[in-house]
Amino acid sequence: MSDTSKARHLRTQSTDAERKLWACLRNRQLAGVPEVFDGGVKKAPASEMDVTALHAKIGQLTLENDFLEGALSKTGLLPSARR
């Protein structure tokens, strides 16, 4: 007897109390599902220092990229797609 047929047999043999119990348990589990997918875990707000540090790093990387782009284009090493 397969697992599916065993489950079907048990379902047909279950009492009203068992059906109500399983329905209650299923509904309780399903009630918690939105918390999992809709941000049940609260994110910590980004601190001002983190944002400032990230902006500084972005600025630094932008300057480095611009410098390298200029240097490579002067030497002819920059691919033509980037010119």
Shared-domain flag, residues 2 and 33 = yes
Shared-domain flag, residues 52 and 29 = no
Which structure tokens are listed for 72? 């490579």
**For the purposes of burial, counting CB atoms within 10 Å of the CB of 72, is it exposed (0-12), middle (13-18) or buried (19 or more)?**
middle
Which domain range does residue 23 map to? 1-39
Shared-domain flag, residues 2 and 22 = yes
How many domains, the chain?
2
Is the pTM value of this prediction over 0.75?
Answer: no
The model's pLDDT over 47-74, given as tens digits with 9 standing for 90+, comes to 777 888 899 999 999 999 999 999 998 8
Shared-domain flag, residues 32 and 53 = no
Q: Is the pLDDT of residue 15 over 80?
A: yes
Q: Is the pLDDT of residue 29 over 70?
A: yes
Shared-domain flag, residues 51 and 28 = no
pLDDT at residue 59 in the model:
95
Shared-domain flag, residues 32 and 63 = no
Determine the residue type at 36: V
Q: Is the pLDDT of residue 82 over 60?
A: no
Shared-domain flag, residues 28 and 60 = no
Mean pLDDT of all residues belonging to the chain: 81
